[in-house]
A and B are shown apart, each in its own frame.
Chain A
Amino acid sequence: MNPTQPAVQAAGGPAVAPAAPVLQLDNLQTHFFTAVGTVRAVDGVSYELKAGETLGVVGESGCGKSVSALSILRLVANPPGRIVGGAIRFQGRNLLELSETEMESIRGNEISMIFQEPMTSLNPLYTIGRQVGEAIALHQGLSRGEAMNRAVEMLRQVYIPEPERRVHAYPHQMSGGMRQRVMIAMALSCNPKVLIADEPTTALDVTIQAQILELMRELQKTFGTAIVLITHDMGVVAENADRVVVMYAGRKVEEAPAADLFDNPGHPYTRGLLGSIPHLDTAARSDTGRNRLTEIKGMVPSLFNLPPGCSFAPRCSFATDHCRQETPSLMQYRPGHWVACWHADRLLGGAS
């Protein structure tokens, strides 16, 4: 019940601030009902987010990371999608119980979102200023002129050169990196408590990606925004997230503080994922033979007919009959480090 405490803490403290969670997903289930069957895109996912924190959500395509994010804002298209169970608590209120009008006052105001494609998520027919100003005018009841001034201010904050001139520009007159800055300006214009960034830099070049991530870190420091960072790029997660949730086939298979996850992955999938990425430094130093990457055999299973037991079992080298029969539940193996695997003990034991 206590209001969100500011996460101001003496330097040197642990990464996890002892603040109450701003956002809490509790056993969220989002399913898609199609002619050929039900897809359990999100099948009982829980995580929480504290003020000022960055939570990384990683996984491969189809693992449910984006659908769970869209569910938070209740943006899943219905039909075919529907949130069939669980709760999403924002500052203690269950968003799933709110009316659409109440939801509108939260969307883009208290919780906002940045999408992957800066080309398609801006309206090509309106100027940048009008689009950035729209949310401000709507949520803060400012006049059009005031909203425009605030839009200029926001564009300045995301380092768009000559913001007074750029507010009158159309999206096609800007580069991909600039458009993504506009998206961030829009998302942060109402000073949200939570920002959901869905693959915010995937469509961008690396040097531009570095600019955008730097900007997000800086704005987070200034505004204390809590960020859900959804990505498939383990490098982006390692350098930006405080805690990480790993998803596979609609479920959370591991959650840990970022440092612990990268040093001691507890789930065979996480371990495989980390082994399958070429590392710039080790790749460059192995000047003689080129090392083989660790492969995860097979492919992501179809969500239409998931195998019984652990969904990862068919691709897992640790899998036993137990794994194929019974779904492992999440258990805490180290402080804050949760793993859903029957063999996590063995994996973590070997690592530490």
Chain B
Amino acid sequence: MSEAAPLLEVTNLKKHFPIHKGVFSRVSGQVYAVDGVSFTIGRGETLGLVGESGCGKSTVGRTLLKLLEPTDGTIRVGGEDITKLDRAGMLPYRRRMQMIYQDPYASLNPRMTAGEIVAEPMVIHESGTPQERRERTAALFQRVGLRPEAAAYYPHEFSGGQRQRIGIARALALNPDLIVGDEPVSALDVSIQAQIINLLMDLQDEFKLSYLFVAHDLAVVEHISHRVAVMYLGRIVEMTDKKSLFEMPLHPYTEALLSAVPIPKASARGRKRVILTGDVPSPINPPPGCHFHARCPYAMPRCKTDVPALREVTPGHFASCHLHDGGVRFPLQAAA
């Protein structure tokens, strides 16, 4: 439990899903959902994880909480390796790591009242007396902006934004250190989205929480995160503080992603942008070499064969791209 160790340290994490075929469920292939991902999250820090659908960002969140068994790699919490722990061994760590889900309609049990939902983690982990739990539930409701009387209602009686507040209260119930948010605001209307983002940031300051914020909306991720990791087809292609990511994207995919986000300003009309051709390839048979080479405007012959490693190109700024093999190249066009 040394203070020097980051709260969470993930090294070369892999999660492959076997594809079964035929009567004997022979394994006929693998989905390389997460294929060697490494990052750390410090105390009180938010790491944003962005990428398009199917890039493996949600699988990273689930695997590091061991909701899915990792195929390879290590997960350290406060310096302790939790990768090989069994159910019982995981229990103390589960209290410290909680999750908020995307769909506020599917992630709450419709047969439980809001109060029971929020108190459930405390019951499972035998935290406090029933009276203490009730008091804590009421305090949590208040903290996330719900009336304590609302504890008696069932999920269907709440709006989407309110349900997401219930999910947040549940995640906070055991005073966790780390919360993984899997697209926690993407199902909400814009005006409600702002309320939830503000709430998450306030709670972070108040309780010194660390967040892994998984989302596809780059503007939201840039807003809430301190550092951002960009994923493409199971791998992190770039990771740095949010300012460098925006001002000096070193991976062609990040550059395209940034330029594709529509900007709600009159001056944004007709700006020059990089438009990628084609679709994201399948993670079942990812292309050899750099996964991005088929869509990359700067692809070179070696990109088709050699996998670029995620390297620290400038201090604190990691990118996996052959363009920087001979030193930093920015802007990227200069290299082409």
Write the residues of chain A forming the contact surface with B, with a CB cutoff of 8 angstroms.
Answer: 60-61, 175, 177-178, 205-211, 213-214, 232-240, 258-263, 272-281, 283-285, 287, 290-296, 299-300
10 cross-chain pairs, A with B, having the tightest CB-CB distances, nearest first = A235-B262, A284-B246, A276-B194, A278-B223, A234-B264, A205-B52, A210-B260, A296-B191, A293-B194, A283-B223
Query: Are B276 and A207 touching (Cβ within 8 A)?
Result: yes
Residue of A nearest to B263 (CB): A235
Which A residues are in CB contact (< 8 Å) with B260? Answer: 206-207, 209-210
Kindly count the residue-residue contacts between A and B in the assembled complex, taking CB atoms under 8 Å apart.
146
Do A284 and B247 form a contact, CB below 8 Å, given A178-B279, A262-B264?
Answer: yes
Do A214 and B275 form a contact, CB below 8 Å, given A238-B268, A280-B218?
Answer: yes
Interface size on B, residues (CB 8 A): 47
Query: Are A206 and B264 touching (Cβ within 8 A)?
Result: no
Which A residues are in CB contact (< 8 Å) with B224? Answer: 278, 290
Do A272 and B266 form a contact, CB below 8 Å, given A175-B279, A285-B246?
Answer: no
Q: Does any Cβ of A come within 8 Å of B166's Cβ?
A: no
Segment at the interface with A among B31-39, B120-128, B195-203: B195-203
21 contacts between A and B (CB under 8 A): A60-B189, A61-B189, A205-B53, A208-B279, A210-B262, A210-B273, A234-B264, A235-B261, A235-B264, A235-B268, A237-B264, A239-B263, A259-B269, A276-B190, A280-B219, A280-B222, A283-B219, A284-B243, A284-B247, A290-B201, A300-B191
Write the residues of chain B forming the contact surface with A, with a CB cutoff of 8 angstroms.
Answer: 52-53, 159, 161-162, 189-195, 197-198, 201, 216, 218-220, 222-224, 241-243, 245-247, 256-266, 268-269, 273, 275-277, 279-280
Secondary structure at chain B's binding surface: helix, strand, loop or mixed? helix
A146 CB, min distance to chain B CBs, angstroms: 31
Which A residues are in CB contact (< 8 Å) with B52? Answer: 205-208
Query: Are B263 and A278 touching (Cβ within 8 A)?
Result: no
Query: Are B279 and A299 touching (Cβ within 8 A)?
Result: no
Which B residues are in CB contact (< 8 Å) with A233? Answer: 262
Do A299 and B159 form a contact, CB below 8 Å, given A205-B216, A236-B262?
Answer: yes
Query: Are A296 and B194 touching (Cβ within 8 A)?
Result: yes
Which A residues are in CB contact (< 8 Å) with B273? Answer: 210
Do A274 and B264 form a contact, CB below 8 Å, given A290-B223, A293-B197, A295-B191?
Answer: yes
Query: Are A238 and B263 touching (Cβ within 8 A)?
Result: yes
Residue of B nearest to A241 (CB): B269
Query: Are A238 and B269 touching (Cβ within 8 A)?
Result: yes
Which A residues are in CB contact (< 8 Å) with B268? Answer: 235, 238-239
Which A residues are in CB contact (< 8 Å) with B162? Answer: 299
Please pick, from B53, B256, B257, B264, the residue contacting A279 in the complex, using a CB distance under 8 A.
B264
Query: Are B242 and A287 touching (Cβ within 8 A)?
Result: yes
Which A residues are in CB contact (< 8 Å) with B275? Answer: 207, 210-211, 214
Query: Are B194 and A294 touching (Cβ within 8 A)?
Result: yes
